[in-house]
Chain A
Amino acid sequence: MISVLYVIYRIIVAILALVVIWDIIREKKFDMAICLGIVCIPLVLRALGIK
């Protein structure tokens, strides 16, 4: 049960990371793009199970 929850968590995080990356591509303001870049780093590392 606990490991299933962790898998679901990683799927959610991976989807979030993809959404953020897509938003970076579409973002019109540079400062917002940088903010999104900072946000996507822990999301990617979490989705990959590295940190």
Chain B
Amino acid sequence: MKNNQLIRNVAVLLVAALICVVAGSAFWEQQQPDVLYTGNPNITGVLKLSDYNANLKGTINDVDIYVFDSGVPGGKAFIYGGTHTNEVGSMLNAVTYLENAKCEAGTIYVMVHANNSGYTHTQPLRGQIGKMTFDLPDGTVREFHVGTRLTNPIHQWPDPNYRFNPSGRELKHDELAEIRNLNRNHPGVQDGYLTEQTCWAIYNFINTEGIDFILDGHEAGAESTTLVNTLVVHENAVPLGSTAVMNCVINNLPMRLEFSGQTSYGLSHRGLGDNTNALCTLFESCNPVMGGYHEKIDEALFKDGISGNYRAMWEAGLFGNNYEIPEEGWPIEKRTAYHMSISKELINAFDTLYPDKPIKVSGLPDANEMIEKGLEYTLKSLG
């Protein structure tokens, strides 16, 4: 081998190594966990998902469930976000509860990152940002990762060629990646794939703790006309859901109720609603990023929710009168406030409908103030 040929080839290797370091450090940074504020004195305990499925011990999805136990026996609510990790309004609602909530009666359980693995990557070729930041008034910055709706293949691979699990959903052909979708595999499999194990841990947690109702937070693109600003409820949860939605409408929040589809196999409201005693609900706010007609997915689109495409489609009458796509968009503080309002109304409704199981929450920020001043004023500083 000639010397100059060797030098040339080593140079190629060095360039490849440099690209590995540059690209790898970006991927590595995405895998670092969010730092959450856990200084809320009303947190009375922290559970792990592995307490309910030992197979999750040591895995990325062994996430924390924060307990707000009032000490007064009553109803038990489970509010969680981060099932789909780019539907950030739900996650920030869970963060709002984590940082501010005080349970006055009953017990509230809060999980921020339901599918933690999903936060460690973004969808290839989608050109999406990996995190969003908030500049707080004291000069500090809060960062939250934004991921994708599926579990990261580095944590769950390979996908099967065929899967028919207890959810009733038959996965084949181009649906196979859904084996990594937390909201397609409920109630899960104890020793199945990582996502199925996570689903089973949630199912076992609900049964073990005797959870009375759950709220699974999501976001949908504006073209999902039956989902946007909609609370989807299992048939057992219709009285609870309709009461909560009615109270929201009275408060001028344009929300609607939708029944869980009988064939919505593996979705939380169907898979957990059918297999547990909990009243299962799921709320969707409007996020242009989730639709198929979004602009470039940068931080501004995630945070401000302003989309010219969706505004034009709404003005053309394509979405009916179900909801508005205002010029000011659907900013993150508004979406989070909607999640917070519906979850609060669910708690109030349960307290009213089941007086033998009281549950009350206080300490949450005012929704109007949150929308007006932004999340920068409600998020706690990490110091």
Contacts and interface: CB of A to CB of B under 8 A. Distances in A.
A34 to B, nearest CB: 6
Given A9-B158, A25-B6, A45-B23, A34 B1 contact: no
Given A41-B20, A44-B20, A51-B24, A30 B8 contact: yes
Contact of A51 (B13, B27, B156): B27
Contacts, number: 56
Interface in B70-123: 121
B8 to A, nearest CB: 6
Interface of B, helix, strand, loop or mixed by DSSP? helix
A38 interface: yes
Interface string B9-30: 1101101100110011001100
Contact of B23 (A5, A33, A41): A41
Contacts of B19: 41
Contacts of B20: 41, 44-45
A26 B1 contact: yes
A27 B157 contact: no
Contact of A25 (B9, B28, B157, B193): B9
B250 interface: no
Interface in B1-52: 1, 5-6, 8-10, 12-13, 15-16, 19-20, 23-24, 27-28, 31
A48 B194 CA distance: 20
Contacts of A9: 157-158
B158 A33 contact: no
- What is the interface residue range for chain B against chain A? 20 to 34
B125 interface: no
Contacts of A40: 16
Nearest to A21: B13
A24 B15 CA distance: 12
B154 interface: yes
Contacts of B5: 28
A17 to B, nearest CB: 10
Contacts of B156: 2
Interface of B: 1, 5-6, 8-10, 12-13, 15-16, 19-20, 23-24, 27-28, 31, 121, 154, 156-158, 193-194
Interface of A: 2, 5-6, 9, 21, 24-28, 30, 33-34, 36-38, 40-41, 44-45, 48-51
10 contacts: A6-B157, A24-B12, A24-B13, A24-B16, A25-B13, A27-B9, A30-B8, A37-B16, A50-B28, A51-B154
